[in-house]
Amino acid sequence: MPRSEKSPTRLFVDAPLDAPRLSLGVEQAHYLGRVLRCREGDEIIVFNGCGTERSAVIKSLARRQPVIALGPSVEPLPEPDTPILLLQALVKSDAMDLIVQKATELGVDSIFATRTEFSVVRLDVERQRRRLTHWRRIAASACEQSGRHRPPSFEIFDSLGDAIGAVPADCSRMAFDIDAGSTLDGNARPGSGICLAIGPEGGFSPDELTRLTAQGFALSSLGARILRAETAAIAACAAVRLLKRDPG
């Protein structure tokens, strides 16, 4: 459905927003000028994920000195009432990129990526660093597009046990398995937050399901169909938002 007014262009900046002017990087200037076709004098919204959004006017997109002038503060959209932690088994890069993008749009607060028994992806320390940088860029772009202010945080774990150990104790916990006897709505318990555990292609192994249940994860099903890992992650996050009636 078309909107009555065009949504303002939003730009994520990794910088304080407490000065009257802000110099942009070359990539940001290229994004505004070449990708979004913005011009000098156009108004945009800038945000930094730290609680501040401000209106701004593009003063220059010249390659040597792209600059915007910062204006009044803007009230950001509220974050959802129910924090979601997505504990996601590592999957192939394209699928993981889609999970990061859509989870950000759906208001997920944290993403724990972890190796599991059936994961085919293996990341050494350098590849982990590059992957985290890549995911943060995807999340920032998803925030720009969706109107969200705060990107999720990311961590990578070498084992499912390490990832489970980092889940806050007060989170409700669900793990998804096609053979589970109950569906998501039967396990959506109230609490300060909720952790959703999604396996890789092929799901969690029997030993991993035993470990998850021993650590308080209720096994839930998303239905009888076999879903791709990325579909399962998106469906689970969206379902929690609907069940919690979370406007964010």
Q: What is the pLDDT of residues 199-245, one digit of tens each?
A: 998 899 999 999 999 999 999 988 888 889 999 999 999 988 888 77
pTM above 0.85, yes or no: yes
Q: Is the pLDDT of residue 116 over 50?
A: yes
pLDDT at residue 187 tops 80: no
- Report in angstroms the alpha-carbon separations of 163 from 103, 111, 167, 168, 169: 18, 10, 7, 11, 13
Burial 51-75 (b: 16+ CB within 10 A, else e): ebbbbbebbebeeeebbbebeeebe
Q: Cα–Cα distance between 210 and 28 in angstroms, integer? A: 47
Each residue of 7-19: pLDDT tens digit?
789 999 989 999 9
pLDDT at residue number 2: 44
Residue 190 pLDDT grade (very low, low, confident, very high; cuts 50, 70, 90): low
Domains of the chain with CATH codes:
10-73 (2.40.240.20), 84-243 (3.40.1280.10)
* 243 against 198, higher pLDDT: 198
Distance of CA 130 to the CA centre of its chain: 17
Cα 207 to Cα 70: distance, rounded to the nearest angstrom: 54
Report whether 175 contacts 212 (CB < 8 A).
Answer: yes
> Where is average pLDDT lowest: 56-60, 61-65, 158-162?
61-65
Task: Kindly tell me if the per-residue pLDDT of 191 is higher than 70.
Answer: no
Closest CA to 85 of 153, 176, 161: 153
Max distance between CA atoms of the chain, in angstroms, equals 61
